[in-house]
Each structure stands twice: as structure tokens, then as C-alpha cells.
Amino acid sequence: MCGIVGYVGRETAAPILLEGLRRLEYRGYDSAGVAVYNDGGIQVVKTKGRIQALAQQVEERGGLAGTIGLGHTRWATHGAPSDVNSHPHVSANGRIAVVHNGIIENYAEIREFLQSTGVRFASETDTEVVAQLLEYYYRGNLLDAVTKVLHRIQGAYALGILCADCPDRLIAARKDSPLILGFGDGFHVLASDVTAVIEHTREVCYLDDGEIAELTADHCWVYDAYLRPVEKERRHVDWEISAAEKGGYEHFMLKEIMEQPKAVHDTITPRIRDGAVVLDELEFSTSYLKSLEKIYIIACGSSYHVGMAAKYVLEALLRKPVEVALASEFRYCNPIVSERTLALVISQSGETIDTLAALREAKRLGARVLSIVNVVGSTIARESDGVLYTWAGPEIAVATTKAYSTQLAVVDLIGLAFAKTMGTLGDEEYKALLEALERLPQQLEEILTHREQIQYLASIYFNHPSVFFIGRNLDYAVGLEGSLKLKEISYLHSEAYAAGELKHGTISLIEPGTLVVALAGCRPVFEKTMSNVVEVKSRGADVLGLTIAPLESAVGKVVDYTLTVPETHPLLLPSLEVVPMQLFAYYVALMHGCDIDKPRNLAKSVTVE
Ligand code: F6R
């Protein structure tokens, strides 16, 4: 989604802004621009296309002098991707420049109003109304104009504002869209994402909804919506800059797949002490956990797929009903939630707007919220009653891999810890599951060493236009993720089906040459799954099987090729099975020459509904 970067200090702003935008590229965008104050006015360069094209245009303009400016990557919502619709947008007199993430919902009404006063709009965007409205309200006091605009606009926004009449300061404001302030020696930065600023500073603070910030080179003031000063807590970010670089890999996605053993290790190890899971971060009492009526898992996309696996795991371990909801549906389905509901919210970015809105709705209805989040200090983390971080480090590829794996690991930790508290798991079973969990990083390493085999199979199957992933129980949950990985990065059509459901309609699509990926590692349903595999095989499908090593020969008798993962505790199967699925998707996309880290139309952090 859109990205914002801003700088005010003593150095030339343009190179800092362009570098910040490069670091935000992974979020997905279709155009980019910068605005810099210099010599009495604001200079804007913006273009449809890549940052490289923008950098070239900046160079052609002599590099843009000036020590204060804003940059933006746009992911089009209102108005097609084009030079003129790119941000920054300037007011009619050219004195005020604005960058914006989010959507101004009442922009049409404001636009009409401003047009009736004679304002002429240059673009089709919702954002331009903010720049024009600022000019309309500006009477020499920028903050006053900003608050008037903020009271008039509705929707979600992170805003960066530069005014030629106050050339020593940037204004920032947020509602429902993330914005971070970074503190340096003689400079301040603002950004929608911490990766854009860690090269310059690790001291940051997160703006909360309704807050406005005023930044000069040496000072930072934060106010509430009525301009009352607000004290902000600073946080130290300890992500390494190298984690946001490719480190010799062709793509971030492959690098992040390869980082999974370490990410899972880093996520579980600090939380296992003396043979037990210890979740110091949480303060849920035994009586509260025992009184729970249900757990409602809320998430989107791959995080939702983690939720699908979590349902099987948590119901098995806690013997409590678990419902899994797509965040975008949860808000509008009149959900049955009470004080005895625990909402388990899963999000890599911690900023997905649908998930955040669903979290707020769950809280409003009385639930307590436990979140699993990767980005420290993100909005979902801050608004939860308890948060368990996944220590995956920054995830840059749009398609998630290591965040998914660490989310699964946290689900397993929650299952173990809560089961102990609630007394739903015997000591022997607890020990066996915990030991299996601790073995995962090494087993993940083992799977990754055999990735050439998956590359070979991808070279055989990459031309199939349509792929079905089938499996039962936890295999089905992994199939959902395998299918999403494949379609999002290779653009092949694929679908995941519960294997037993196929014959209720979808099997009519199976014909000679259709590729079916059969996940058959789940022992309790193995025979049943294999019956479904035989059904597709006898209709001529090409079948690629995925199972655990001890079942290889049984699967191999039915399918064309078999991939295996080491045996683990049945509840941990997704943690291993997902890796060959990620690699398969990766190599298929590679063979199609796709833009793997930045698939078309997709964004890393989805901050619009
Ligand atoms: C797919 C993918 C997305 C995200 C989804 C939720 O590879 O990454 O489906 O899982 O957009 O994002 P978060 O987890 O940041 O809330």
C-alpha cells in the first residue's frame, strides 16, 4: 500500500527521501513522488512507475536542493495510476504540499464545495481535497488550518504536510493509518513504516489516532485533535538494516523462506524455560481462561490461514470452541461475542485495517484481545490486551513466509501454555508436544536443504494453468496457504479444497492433465485423504503428493511424485508442510519470470478497507 517518508534537517532532503521510498517499495505501489522546499517555493517531481524513474527525473532537474521534504509511493485507489494522480498533491497556489495514505471518504462532497468556490482540481484523487482545503482554511496559522481540515474530513489517513510559508517544519497527522516519527541529531523523519527510517535512526514514536505532530530539525511537538500537547513514549527499534536487504539472494521471498528455522527458533526459544512454556507477556488469569466460552480468531489472508490451522490445534488442546473469521467479514456479521470470548487477532504488519477494525469491534462487544503480531509497536499490538510478538524480523517480500511460520509457532505456544493452565493436557502429551516444537527449527533446516527437488518438480509442473490443493484437517489448512502462495506470486489459477468436499461439485473441473497437489501428511485422516487422491487420479489428474517421510511409499503408489517432510507431532504438521508449498510457489513463479517480491496489484500492508 502507499508509503510516506518525510525529512527535516540539515542535509539535502531529496536523496534521503528517495532512499526511504526505495525501502518502502516492498509495500507495493504504482507511482511515486517527492516535494522539497527550496528558495521560497515547493518543487514537486512525481511519476507513474518505479522509484528508479522518479530518481532519474529528480536528477534531470539538477537533484532538488533543500533540506525539508516529503516523499510518497502510491497504490491507486481513487483515480488511475498516472503522473498527475501521484502524490504529493499541491494546493492551487502551489504553497502547500500533501502526501496521504488511506481514503478520504467524503472527498466528493468537499471537492464539490471547493469547486463551487472556484477551486480547480488537477487530479482525480481524494487526497487533493486535503491540499485544496488546507489552502482554503489557511490564514497564516498552519496548525489551525490543519485542525480545521481534520475536523472536516472523514475516513482514514496518515498525512504529511509541507507549507512554503513555514519552511522549517513538517506537519503529520494520523487516523487509522500508521505513521511513525523518528528522532535524530539535528533532524526528524516521519514515515509510514519503520523500515524507511532505520537507516537514520532507531529512536521512534508511533502517532496515535487523532494526533498531530509538528517537526523541525531540532524539535518535535505532538498534539491531540484540539492542539493540546501530548507526551509521547519513545521506543527503540532493534531490527537490523541488513534484515531488510537481500543478502545475496535473488529475491527477498527466498531469503525469508530460508530464514524460517532461525525465525521459529527466535520466536519459541525465549518462551521455553525448564521444560515449560512461559508467556511472561500475558496476564490472563486461570479463572479467566477456564471461564472462556469461545475463542474467536480474526485475521486476513495468510494470517487467516494460520487461524484455520490454529482452530484444529487449539480445539484439540483446549477443548474450547474456536471460530475463525475473516476480519473483513467479522464486523458485518453481527458476531456473537461476550466477556467470555477471547479474540485472537493475527497480523504480521499489525496495521491491516480490516483486522484492526475487527479488533475494535470485538473489544466493543466485550471480548479481550490477544494478538500475534510481527511489527513491534504497531497499532494492533498497542490496542490489544495482550500481545505475543513473532520474532521474524522485517518481512519485505509481499508474500508472507517467515511471518506465517512464526505465527504458527506462537499458536502452538499459546496452546501449550493455556492447556497447562486449564488442565486440558496430560503431562506426557505436553512434554511430547513441547519437545516436537523445539525440534522444528532443525527439521525446517532439513527440508530447506532439499529445495532442489522442489525446484525440479516446479520445472515439470509450472505450465499447468490450473492447480488444486486438496487435504483434510491440518493438511487442508496448509493447502489453503499453498494455493494462496502459488496464485499470488505466479498468477496461476489455483484453489484449495477440503479433500472430502471435492466430490460435491469441484471434481467436475478435474480432467486429464489437471494438476492436483495432494497433502496427505495428517495420520488420523490419511486413508480418507488417499481415497480422494485416488478419485482425482482416476479422472486423469497429474498428482503431486506431500506427506511425512514414513508415509512416502503409501502415497508414492498413487501419485506421480511425492515430496516428504520429516515426521513431527501431528499438531505441528503445518509448520513443516508449508515450506515445500512456499518453495513450489516460488520456483513456479521464477519460471514464469514474475516479479516475485512485488506481485502485481498486491501490497504488503493493506491499510484500506
Ligand atoms: C499473503 C499475505 C497476505 C497477508 C494479509 C494479512 O502472502 O501476506 O495475505 O497475510 O494481507 O496481513 P497481516 O498479516 O499484515 O495482517
What count of residues does the chain have?
609
Ligand 1 pocket, Cβ-based, cut-off 6 angstroms: 300-303, 347-349, 352, 355, 399-400, 484, 488, 605-606
- How far apart CA 130 and CA 245 sit, in angstroms, is 35
Question: Three cell numbers at 34?
Answer: 517527492
- Looking at residue 377, its pLDDT comes to 86
377 versus 263: which is more confidently predicted?
A: 263
Catalytic annotation on 604? yes
Question: pLDDT-based confidence at 139, cuts 50/70/90?
Answer: very high
Mean pLDDT of 11-20: 95
pLDDT of residue 246: 80
Is the pLDDT at 239 greater than 90? The verdict is no
Instruction: Give the whole-angstrom CA distance, residue 286 versus residue 12.
Output: 57
- DSSP state for residue 242 in the 8-state scheme: G
Q: Is the pLDDT of residue 243 over 90?
A: no
Mutate to test the pocket of ligand 1, among 257, 348, 384, 596 (most ligand atoms within 8 A of CB): 348
Going from the Cα of 259 to the center of ligand 1, the distance in angstroms, rounded, reads 18
**Mean pLDDT computed over 31-49:** 94
pLDDT of residue 253: 96
Lowest mean pLDDT among 147-151, 242-246, 477-481: 242-246
Match 497527522 to its residue by C-alpha cell: 173
Percent with pLDDT over 70 in the chain? 99
Q: Give the separation between CA 523 and CA 501, rounded to whole angstroms.
A: 19
In this predicted structure, what is the pLDDT of residue 83?
87
Cell of 527: 486413508
Runs of H (alpha helix) within 71-127: 107-116
Sheet of 294-299, strand order: 322-326, 294-299, 341-347, 368-373, 386-389
CA-based torsion, 166, 168, 174, 177: positive or negative: positive
pTM confidence score: 0.83
Does the pLDDT value for residue 590 go beyond 80? Answer: yes
- Active-site residue flag, 2: yes
Determine the Cα–Cα distance for residues 183 and 217; give it in Å rounded to an integer. Answer: 9
Q: How far is CA 85 from CA 70, 127, 510, in A?
A: 16, 9, 45
pLDDT averaged over every residue in the chain: 94
Atom of ligand 1 nearest to the CA of 403: 14
- What's the pLDDT at 601? 81
Ligand 1 centroid from CA 400, angstroms = 7
pLDDT by residue (tens digit) across 418-453? Answer: 999 999 999 999 999 999 999 999 999 999 999 999
Give the separation between CA 547 and CA 542, rounded to whole angstroms: 16
Cα-based angle 488, 490, 496 (whole degrees, multiple of 5): 55
Beta carbons within 10 angstroms of residue 310's beta carbon: 28
Residue 597, SS3 per DSSP: coil
**Separation of 543 CA from ligand 1 center, angstroms?**
28
Render pLDDT for 542-585 as a digit per residue (tens, 0 to 9): 999 999 999 999 999 999 999 999 999 999 999 999 999 999 99
- Chain centroid to CA 279: 24
Outline where 241-331 has alpha helix (H): 252-258, 260-268, 286-291, 301-318, 327-330
- What separation, in Å, do the N-terminal and C-terminal C-alpha atoms of the chain show? 11
Phi/psi of residue 380, each to 5°?
Answer: -60, -40
The pLDDT of 493-519, averaged and rounded, is 94
**In the predicted structure, residue 78 carries a pLDDT above the cut 90:** no
Among protein residues, the one whose CA lies closest to atom 9 of ligand 1: 301
Are the C-beta atoms of residues 138 and 77 closer than 8 Å to each other? Answer: no
Atom of ligand 1 nearest to the CA of 352: 16
Query: Does residue 606 carry a pLDDT above 90?
Result: no
Decide: helix, strand or coil at residue 122.
coil
Which atom belonging to ligand 1 lies closest to the Cα atom of 401?
Answer: 7
Q: Which residue type sits at 197?
A: V
Residue 403 has pLDDT above 90, yes or no: yes
Residue 558: φ, ψ to 5°: -105, -35
Assess whether pLDDT exceeds 90 at residue 28.
no
Per-residue pLDDT band for 512 (boundaries 50, 70, 90) equals: very high
Give residue-wise pLDDT tens across range 307-343: 999 999 999 999 999 999 999 999 899 999 999 999 9
pLDDT at residue 515 is higher than 80: yes
User: Residue 301 and residue 507: Cα distance in Å, rounded?
Assistant: 25
Residue 57: the pLDDT is 93
Range of weakest confidence among 5-9, 166-170, 227-231, 233-237: 233-237
